[in-house]
């Protein structure tokens, strides 16, 4: 039950962020598609890290290393994908 509440909390905050901060409320569905696409495409990487280094190391990598990489690289990719989807609509 806690996981479901966490997901709902993140979704609600993402919706508010997209609507009021970025001003892209009309394109929220495209942003959700980009987020889900990035999540699905990263699963093989996480599976590889779990098999190669173990669950704990992969977890710590996700907690400490990945947010930094996502801020630098992932932000650029997400912005580019979102811009492409929004301009195509």
Give the start-to-end residue ranges of the domains of the chain.
Answer: 2-88
Compute the half-sphere exposure of residue 37: CA atoms within 13 Å on the CB side of its CA. Answer: 12
pLDDT value of residue 49: 87
What token pair was written down for 64?
């400490």
pLDDT digits (tens, 9 = 90+) for 34-88: 777 877 888 888 899 899 999 888 888 777 776 666 666 655 556 665 566 566 6
Helices marked H in 54-74 — which ranges? 55-60, 66-69
- pTM here is 0.56
Q: Taking the alpha carbons of 7, 36, 20, 62 in that order, is the dihedral positive or negative?
A: positive
Q: b vs e for 49-84, b when ≥16 Cβ sit within 10 Å of the residue's Cβ? A: beeeeeeeebeeeeeeebeeeeeeeeeeebeebbee
pLDDT digits (tens, 9 = 90+) for 1-30: 566 776 677 778 888 888 888 787 888 888
Say if CB 24 and CB 18 are below 8 A apart.
yes
């Amino acid at each position: 039950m806690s996981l479901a509440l966490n997901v709902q909390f993140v979704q609600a905050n993402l919706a508010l962020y997209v609507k009021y901060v970025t001003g892209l409320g009309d394109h929220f569905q495209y942003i959700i598609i980009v987020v889900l696409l990035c999540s699905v495409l990263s699963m093989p990487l996480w599976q590889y890290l779990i098999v190669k280094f173990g669950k704990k190391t992969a977890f710590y990598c996700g907690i400490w290393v990945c947010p930094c990489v996502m801020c630098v690289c992932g932000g650029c990719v997400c912005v580019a994908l979102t811009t492409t989807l929004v301009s195509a609509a």
